[in-house]
Chain A
Amino acid sequence: MSARIERIFGDLCKVNQPSGSGRLTEVSVSAATFEKLLKHWQDLPVTDRPGLRGLSAARSTSQLQVVLDPGAGEAFLLLTVDSEKGKTLPGLATIWPYAQWWEEELRAFGGMKFTGLPAHSEVEWRRN
């Protein structure tokens, strides 16, 4: 595990980076660990935080897939967050304010719930 990845994940979860450069590293975590990770990243300076590069819902399950860029030319990370259907996930907008639009998208199209995500105010505004 590289120093950068170690700093990003701390001792919250174990990451096995695949051999060969440029290969996607997959990490699977529970919703509780994901919440701890978000808190850990909040304490890091902005330059040391991983960058958000994608947010999607796994099609057949209630998993949240988060693509992260660890920076410093490291390969992408795919964080899979296991969650029960209908359970509220920790909001990503606390770390990445721009993530709110993707949260909104996942709520509308994937039925996922996030803490701190405001109501469908934009949709209501458009109706008026």
Chain B
Amino acid sequence: MATKLAYSPLHMAGSYGLGAFGLEIEDDGGLVAGARVSVGYGRREIEDAVRRLPLAQALNYADRVDFLASPAYNCALASAFEELLDLEIPERAHCIRLILLELNRISSHLQFYVNLAREVGQLPLMNHCLRERERFSDVLEMYCGSRLGFGAICLGGVVADATDGWFFRIEKALGLLRDFLPELDRLLLRHPFYEERTRGLAVVSPQHAREWNLQGPNARASGLAEIDERRAKPYGAYKGQAMKEMSLAGGSSGDALARSRIRAAEILQSGALIEQVFRKIPSGNFRIRVGMEVSPPPGKAVASVEGPRGVITAFAESGAGSFPASVSFFSPSAMAVQLLPRLLRGHQVEDAFLVIHSLDISFSEVDK
């Protein structure tokens, strides 16, 4: 007879009955016979709160939707507001935004490896990943003075200009990270024990990925390389950037192993993109001044950005006055979390946490 397990308290987002995430597993002799997931109802009301703020201040709230993808949410909402205001952003600002988005992607993917290494008991590797991530937090702090919720992207551009010293620190951090990736491979991604445990675990077929609108690295690990907003709908400085093809050494089999390996490939791709932009960043303004009480004409705008977990879509509506009439986000983790019951069924209960972590779900963006 199957026993019901309240699994969610084992996850940091799933305090029972209050958290952003509830997961109940039916354990049948060590195998998952069924699973039930519930999300939300701990809503932080960010979408509602921004309706009572001028556009420039509302942007800072977007930072808080997902603490691991602050610049991406910020950029999505800023782009939607800029479309409402019909603002033309300087090219230099677009380039700095791209650098910030890619640095954030690297930092978020490193956090993914921190979580994964901790969950499989590779504690020394977890510390090494944290050390690498700290370098990128330092770089972001050097730019905007903050290590979390950066507020780096503002209406009309970015908050500060990029300096040569900043570029130098980024290059140094990227160089050290490239030296570290073989260690990550050796200790985790190509470790025989890890390979054996995750190969064929929770496979998402390309058709399933499409049907369930799986986004970002999760969809790309299922072989859907075209599900990438930077390629599908290039925005800002991504227009005209030749994106380095990822070497999908982990394959595109859609299992937990492919999902964990693809993020290392994306880190390399992001590094290459940043260096590409270093070579062509133009001089000039990094921002055009927009007043705090700016009032857009009534209208609606949609903007999308490829965040670390997939495409983030921001919808903004302006009415009369300087406050947005409505704002809503469409976040990639909300799709991935709904796929969990199907993915867990038939696997061992002790592999459930690996399946959850391989999808890199951020519950703060589910429960906005």
A and B: bona fide binding partners: yes
Q: Which residues of A contact B (CB under 8 A)?
A: 24, 26, 46-47, 51-56, 58-59, 65, 67, 69, 71, 73, 76, 78, 96-98, 100-102, 104-105, 108, 122-123, 125-127
Contacts A/B (CB < 8 Å), 25 sampled: A46-B207, A46-B211, A47-B210, A52-B213, A53-B302, A53-B311, A54-B315, A54-B328, A55-B330, A58-B317, A58-B326, A59-B326, A67-B302, A67-B313, A71-B232, A76-B304, A78-B302, A78-B315, A97-B211, A98-B339, A101-B334, A101-B338, A105-B40, A122-B22, A125-B36
Instruction: Give the nearest-CB partner of B39 in chain A.
Output: A101
Q: Give the size of the chain B interface in residues (CB under 8 angstroms).
A: 32
Q: Give bound CA distance, A123 to B317, whole Å.
A: 31
Given contacts A98-B334, A125-B38, contact A67 B212 (CB under 8 A): no
Q: Give bound CA distance, A123 to B233, whole Å.
A: 38
Is the pair A24, B300 in contact by a Cβ cutoff of 8 Å? yes
Question: Which among A56, A65, A78, A97 is the interface contact of B212 at CB below 8 angstroms?
Answer: A97
Identify whether the interface residues of A are mostly helix, strand, loop, or mixed: mixed
Which residues of A lie under 8 Å from residue B233 when comparing CB positions?
73
Q: Which residues of B contact A (CB under 8 A)?
A: 17, 22, 24, 36, 38-41, 83, 207, 210-213, 232-233, 300-302, 304, 311, 313, 315, 317, 325-326, 328, 330, 334-335, 338-339
Which residues of A lie under 8 Å from residue B311 when comparing CB positions?
53
Q: Give bound CA distance, A112 to B300, whole Å.
A: 21
Of A71, A96, A122, A123, chain B has the most CB atoms within 10 Å of the CB of: A122
Is the pair A46, B36 in contact by a Cβ cutoff of 8 Å? no
Is the pair B38, A122 in contact by a Cβ cutoff of 8 Å? yes
Q: Give bound CA distance, A102 to B334, whole Å.
A: 9
Which residues of B lie under 8 Å from residue A26 when comparing CB positions?
300
Is the pair A59, B330 in contact by a Cβ cutoff of 8 Å? no
Of A46, A69, A73, chain B has the most CB atoms within 10 Å of the CB of: A69
Instruction: Give the nearest-CB partner of A58 in chain B.
Output: B326
A56-B326, A59-B325, A100-B338 known; 16 other A-B pairs, CB under 8 Å? A24-B301, A47-B210, A52-B213, A54-B313, A55-B330, A73-B232, A76-B313, A97-B338, A101-B334, A102-B334, A122-B38, A125-B22, A126-B17, A126-B38, A126-B41, A127-B17
Which residues of B lie under 8 Å from residue A105 when comparing CB positions?
40
Which residues of B lie under 8 Å from residue A100 when comparing CB positions?
338
